[in-house]
A and B are shown apart, each in its own frame.
Chain A
């Protein structure tokens, strides 16, 4: 599914002769839920992404089942089945465009903001997300941290466990892009 999505994206972005792409295959996504009674941490390194430099657009995708590192196996099952509903919504995507102008050739860190549709749990929300770009040799490192309010994506927390899961999940993304 994940690959298929990317492939579609590749085709969509493809313009013969003029397109310049940056791609990423195993970017790292960390998430932290800091609730009054429990701290949950999980991560995935299955983030794939593509940046169209000429059009200043991008697309990210990640398999919602690829997260690991919960406090227990039961918790992961809970996460996958009850909150992400991965059977129904297997991928999380974020597609959009760059707002701030950025120079991908500069070797100092640059702050950028992108605007796009974050599709999580089948609900699409427009987000402006702040990140940092750093050219590191042949690769371009993109990192960002932001929060996702669960209510924005129709993820409801049962009253009995609301002290175990935060209403806002902190996300950290680090991805290396290659030409």
Chain B
């Protein structure tokens, strides 16, 4: 160090070098932690850094709460929630009604119910200094202790203050606890005070001097389930105290470790923290220090025992959870093959010899030749029997420090001893040449025999015996290699148990008797069977569901079964079917024990041997079967975050549901297993490691979702959450909609039928009229007069001008062709109609010369008319009027604004009425009315004959008409 110092002074470079070496050395000393300890991380919603935690509390429903400098924190695995408070929260407590009480640094008191915190306003006194602790008495009154103002009781009358004036030792109160004596025990710098408060009287009894406490400064106090108070003092260590008799039960005589700031009193050991990194384990019976263990890297603020039997260690910078049942001890030994725990001693057998440790001290080797120890057993008079691999039987008497070889070994056909037990002055050993019953001598230290050998010759199924169990009915059970179980009954009869359900039982390595007297056996395939009194064999496959490798089995003090696997331990309670499962992988170090390296000490502690370490398991008294906590975190309907309500209804479209949930097992979150089933859709459970479930398309129906969390694959003590919901049928499948739909449909059908009928009638009439008008036109066209007149005109023209005549004939033929072309149409355009008319007018013009003329409109608008309308009207005018030089006939054609074509001529009727029935005009009128529902009006004034023809607009044209028209155009 001096040399290093020299270097350091010369240059910083060397300093860093040293620093690095030093820190590496520090890390390498951080070897195996003694506890099954897990670090707990607090991830608070909306906060990047966790505020300083001051204390923690578990409410009756199991929720964990933290008091921090920033406020109250509700703990969840994924995201914890912070309720900010104006001042740091310094005390937490939940009463029997599950109301959470929080005390602040400035004396403010909050009460929280179902996540809603209120600052309470009370009648009476009001604390203004730090609240240090909260408790409730048997009357349900809430007690608050303060640091400077004594204690306050919240009764029906409001807050009442009890302080030094009322007889309290000091107003600076560290804390208070409710006793089984229906009082409140208060601890201060002036000892303990027992307080009671009723509206009618109050009483404070100061225990400081009357009962001679070891120390009057008592910063910490806990009361265990038996009602014993455990106090941690400033200078005199811990002491236990009976609140009922008011006497000190046990005290420490020398305590050099300083002030005790927190205590944990569950289990057989008292855990003590001293404002340092060191945790001290103290025997509860005599308060002797068992060991001191450096746990975290920073000073311990508080130890807290939760309802599940875990102890939380709150340090200045970290948070840990420890299972007090477990403690692991590193040994310097390699390949531990057998373990025996006796009173205050632990014996370990390795392939090099036998080792022993007294009261937790280091292991030392028991003097002997090199021996490979397979089995250790403590017999009568505390003799330790050692079975070896290939070297026979040894023993160690109390007081002796040398292993003794026994002459009886010469009588054994095989020197490999796998198991040893004792029964009525006889030693039973399991070897590869059968089981031997050896008579133990009364006085001689050497065992000579005689021996009785049980092997194939004497009726066993095999010679290789691995395990011997003598049960409560004095039957001797032998586990063989590959040949099942042999039972030697007290009568001497040998029973073979080799098959189960036509399966071979095979090699049996472990045999244990449970509290019912049933024998548990474990075979080569790591399967478990039980055998009852009537030798009825039953598979217990539901226990080792994952087919893990079973290394050893034993029973606890109450006859429950412990099964040691590679990396974990199951504590199985046959009476209830409950099962606790503990993970033995600590800090990533696998737990890989040899076969049958398990032993139960007299205090009930189970010692499990690993290759080079031991794990001590001490089940708590009144072991409570614990279940992981489970809750819904979020719920999404069609991908949208939605609130969950009981008996929720969803419409048919909201059928994609996602449930996010969260299990909580502080000791080993990764061990949690989940399964779920949607009753109404799923027929079986689905196991998952995910913490969210999605159902993408749930058909309408009523559903009940169940989610379970458990520590074991068999889902032994699982906790369950459930949620009922309903997805409604689509509206078109609902009765009211269906009936409405049928009614509507019938109505529509009726309406359409009606319409169709009308249409058919109309069409029929149009057809009739058309036929009639065509007949009329044809009739008039082939009217002999028309032909005569035309031919006369033709003859005259031929004489005058043969060229004109040819033109005339062309027009005539055009005219007839056109008539034939349009006669099938319902409508033609005005343009076509005027072309037709021009051809006809040409013919008439040739006949009447200048006496006949047409006044054409300036332009022709878009529109349709009934074919040959104009021709019929012109023909009608020519037919009924005088056409002469004196009275020339002028037909005026024009369009007026209301969409009408007006055909007008001066009225100059012939004296003799023309034959004919005006059929052409009437037919036209009927057609227009049927097609357009408008009238073709005929107006006869004194001077004029006027016809108003309705022009059919393109949008008016019924589809089939226009189509027909279009078709004919193409």
Contacts and interface: CB of A to CB of B under 8 A. Distances in A.
B235 A115 contact: no
A115 B189 contact: yes
Given A113-B234, A113-B235, A160-B15, A37 B8 contact: yes
Interface string B1-40: 1001100100010010001000000000000000000000
B217 interface: yes
B47 to A, nearest CB: 24
B216 interface: yes
B259 interface: yes
A30 to B, nearest CB: 21
Interface in A1-38: 36-37
B216 A99 contact: yes
Contacts of B12: 160
B843 to A, nearest CB: 125
A128 interface: yes
A107 interface: no
Contact of A100 (B5, B15, B216): B216
A130 B259 CA distance: 11
Given A37-B5, A113-B217, 18 more contacts: A36-B1, A37-B4, A37-B8, A99-B189, A99-B190, A99-B216, A99-B217, A100-B216, A113-B234, A113-B235, A115-B172, A115-B189, A128-B217, A130-B235, A160-B12, A160-B15, A163-B8, A163-B19
A128 B235 CA distance: 10
A128 B216 contact: no
Contacts of B189: 99, 115, 128
A37 B172 CA distance: 42
A153 to B, nearest CB: 15
Nearest first, the 7 A-B pairs at minimum CB distance are A99-B189, A37-B5, A128-B234, A99-B217, A115-B189, A128-B217, A37-B8
Interface in A120-140: 128, 130
Interface residues of A, number: 10
Interface of A: 36-37, 99-100, 113, 115, 128, 130, 160, 163
Contacts of A99: 189-190, 216-217
A158 B723 CA distance: 58
Contacts of A37: 1, 4-5, 8
A94 to B, nearest CB: 17
A100 B12 CA distance: 50
A13 to B, nearest CB: 20
Contacts of B234: 113, 128
Contacts of B19: 163
Contacts of B216: 99-100
B266 to A, nearest CB: 28
Contacts of A163: 8, 19
A124 to B, nearest CB: 14
Nearest to B188: A99
A113 B190 CA distance: 12
Range of interface residues on B (Cβ < 8 Å)? 10 to 19
A36 B15 CA distance: 13
A36 B259 CA distance: 26
Interface in B542-576: none
Nearest to B12: A160
Contacts of A36: 1
13 contacts: A37-B1, A37-B4, A37-B5, A37-B8, A99-B217, A100-B216, A113-B217, A113-B235, A115-B172, A128-B217, A128-B234, A128-B259, A130-B235
A163 B23 CA distance: 12
Contacts of A130: 235
Contacts of A128: 189, 217, 234, 259
B786 to A, nearest CB: 129
A163 B16 CA distance: 11
A110 B393 CA distance: 63
B585 to A, nearest CB: 35
Nearest to B19: A163
Most B Cβ at <10 Å: residue of A37, A100, A115, A160: A37
Nearest to A115: B189
A115 B174 CA distance: 14
A163 B15 CA distance: 10
A58 B216 CA distance: 20
A103 to B, nearest CB: 15
Nearest to A111: B235
Nearest to A164: B8
B858 to A, nearest CB: 108
B18 to A, nearest CB: 8
A99 B1 CA distance: 44
Nearest to B16: A160
Contacts of B5: 37
For B12, B15, B190, the residue with the greatest tally of chain A CB atoms inside 10 Å of its CB is B15
Nearest to A37: B5
Interface in B209-249: 216-217, 234-235
Contacts of B235: 113, 130
B19 to A, nearest CB: 8
B613 to A, nearest CB: 32
Contacts of A160: 12, 15
Nearest to A159: B19
A86 B292 CA distance: 40
A99 B235 CA distance: 13
A99 B208 CA distance: 12
A65 to B, nearest CB: 27
Contacts of A113: 217, 234-235
A166 B244 CA distance: 47
A117 to B, nearest CB: 12
Interface in B171-205: 172, 189-190
A160 B216 CA distance: 43
B275 to A, nearest CB: 10
A37 B7 CA distance: 12
Contacts of B1: 36-37
Nearest to B4: A37
A21 B220 CA distance: 34
A30 B224 CA distance: 44
A37 B12 CA distance: 14
A148 to B, nearest CB: 14
Contacts of B8: 37, 163
A160 B4 CA distance: 15
B5 to A, nearest CB: 6
A128 B5 CA distance: 37
Contacts of B172: 115
Contacts of B217: 99, 113, 128
A99 B4 CA distance: 47
A48 B8 CA distance: 40
A46 B781 CA distance: 150
B749 to A, nearest CB: 92
A143 to B, nearest CB: 17
Nearest to B172: A115
Contacts of A100: 216
A128 B172 CA distance: 13
Nearest to A161: B15
A129 to B, nearest CB: 11
Contacts of B15: 160
A36 B25 CA distance: 15
A113 B235 CA distance: 10
B244 to A, nearest CB: 28
B29 to A, nearest CB: 15
A27 to B, nearest CB: 24
B841 to A, nearest CB: 120
Interface in B275-327: none
A113 B15 CA distance: 42
A160 B190 CA distance: 45
A123 to B, nearest CB: 16
A69 B1 CA distance: 24
A115 B235 CA distance: 13
A163 B17 CA distance: 13
A100 B213 CA distance: 13
Nearest to B170: A99
A115 B216 CA distance: 13
A113 B234 CA distance: 10
